[in-house]
Amino acid sequence: CRPEAGEDCLTCAPDCGDCPRCGDGMCDASASETCFTCEDDCGRCTGCGDGLCRGTENCASCNLDCGVCSVCGNMRCESAGGFEDCINCPADCGMCSLRSCSESLTCVFGCIDFGGGGGGGVPGFDFSCLIDCFALTCTDSRSFLNNVINCSIGEFASGTCSDLPCIMRECRGEITACFADRGC
């Protein structure tokens, strides 16, 4: 076995012999055994079992503290911790209730940090939140919502607006059309 030539039990078993196996009683770091990959040889990871999911612990490495990993399609909506919901797993959680334009607009404005999260007076946007709001909007209402979003972004980009009252004033036509939409 010639380690200097890159040989080891994984790349050249005839020369180097079989790799140590999990369960042989020896925690072998050179074989990538750790408390996460081979608890039998390396023991339980420190901290696992203390009731707190922290550090390197996750549902795969320490389900005692972090819970069982959620799996879409197991007929259980595992929404605790935000793992599954009607958007990313309708098979388990059911279909989402669709929103009208006005309901979705309220959702969209909740995704914008008008406190200047973007720096320089430009609002900060939580794009994941915006996508979720848009995904839950009735198909017939999306064009109205899109018009309000485009108007708002245009007003932010031009420097005309940096707060909600200004958007309400400058995008009044688009917002009025959104609220008039009967949606779903």
The pLDDT tens digits for 72-128 are: 888 888 877 667 888 888 899 998 888 899 999 999 999 988 775 544 566 888 888
58 phi and psi angles, rounded to 5 deg: -150, 180
18 found inside a domain: yes
Query: Is residue 89 helix, strand or coil?
Result: coil
72 found inside a domain: no
| Interaxial angle between packed helices 142-158 and 101-109, expressed in degrees from 0 to 180 and rounded to the nearest 10 | 30
User: For residues 88-110, b (16+ Cβ closer than 10 Å) or e, as one string?
Assistant: ebeebbeeeebbbbbbbbebbee
The pLDDT of residue 145 is: 93
131 found inside a domain: yes
Confidence class of residue 50 from pLDDT cuts 50, 70 and 90?
confident
**Count of domains forming the chain:** 2
Write down which residue in 30, 51, 72 finishes a domain: 51
The pLDDT of residue 128 is: 86
86 found inside a domain: no
Q: Is the pTM of this model over 0.75?
A: no
Write down which residue in 51, 75, 90 finishes a domain: 51
CB atoms within 10 A of CB 49: 12
Q: Cβ distance 22 to 35 under 8 Å?
A: no
The pLDDT of residue 167 is: 92
The pLDDT of residue 116 is: 59
- Domain interval for residue 108: 101-180
Q: Distance (Å, rounded) from C-alpha 22 to C-alpha 29?
A: 11
Q: Distance (Å, rounded) from C-alpha 180 to C-alpha 147?
A: 13
88 found inside a domain: no
pLDDT (mean) for 137-164: 90
